[in-house]
Amino acid sequence: MRRIVAVLSDTHAGHRLGLMPPDLTLYDEAPDGTLAPYTPQQTAVQQWLWHCYCDDMAEVVALADDDPLTVIHNGDLTWGRKYATELVSTREANQYLIAVANLAPWLELPNLTALRLSHGTGSHGFQEGTDVALVSELLRARYPDSDIGVCRHGLADVDGVLVDYAHHGPPPGSRNWLTGNNLRYYIRSLMTDEVMRGRTPPRVVLRAHYHQYQRETVRVPAGDGEAVTDGIITPAYCGLSEFAQQATRSAYLIGCGLVALEIVDGRLVDVHAMQRTVDLRREEKL
């Protein structure tokens, strides 16, 4: 038995640097007070993101072939209202419509077995998981036969492979030579907690939020042998906003993409990282 689990995060629907498909119908107020449909123009960043997203989906589809496919969106479906600049629309309902349109292509796949949406950052999700609650209901209405679920922190058993997923986790590292340390310590602590409780540590731990891909493999003693866990921070499908530029102290490399877990006969056999890194600096000769 072979299974594929595709994991993406931080699509931030509603921001002009967030993921958004072309030819999308949104709504604004008409002169007579009714809602008038219109198609927003993609920004240059959104055009690039959608092109990358389609390429990554095509790669996942090719990888899965006819085998069962599960998709996890690990938080921050929308942009929210706290940082209300650079929005596609000030109408909050349009953020949900963009998020639905971003996920709809997965639900059109005949071999999709389940879609899971995890809670993200409160300020981006309109607090209390409002974004995933509403988007999941809109998707269920459109795809009533699909298995669509929502959780704050998931522990999925995929043919015996335990996958722990939640949006918030450790940062990838504050310095190049420290990259991965926080993730390794975080995973080792989680694994040790599970061993001390007499439980098997998850084979994969998925976190997001920092828009930067990172993977670390950690081993700890367990029983008469050892336990192995792959810790993964997923990249994003979002450009670098002014707030993010400030928060990251002018980071100039931004990642974009997703990861796909390949599980065969109850074992994790590969982690496929479909991602790319872009240098945001402007080069010129003066």
54 within some domain: yes
pLDDT of residue 249: 77
Please give the average per-residue pLDDT across 169-183, as a whole number. 83
Say which CATH number the domain at 49 has.
3.60.21.10
The Cα 265–Cα 281 span in angstroms is 45
169 within some domain: yes
52 within some domain: yes
The Cα 27–Cα 257 span in angstroms is 29
Size (the chain), residues: 286
286 within some domain: no
Does pLDDT of 188 surpass 80? yes
245 within some domain: yes
21 within some domain: yes
280: pLDDT confidence band, cut at 50, 70 and 90?
A: confident
Please give the average per-residue pLDDT across 2-7, as a whole number. 98
285 within some domain: no
Q: Tokens at residue 61, please?
A: 């589809």
160 within some domain: yes
Task: Please give the residue range of the domain that contains residue 259.
Answer: 2-279
pTM of the shown model:
0.95
Please give the average per-residue pLDDT across 263-271, as a whole number. 98
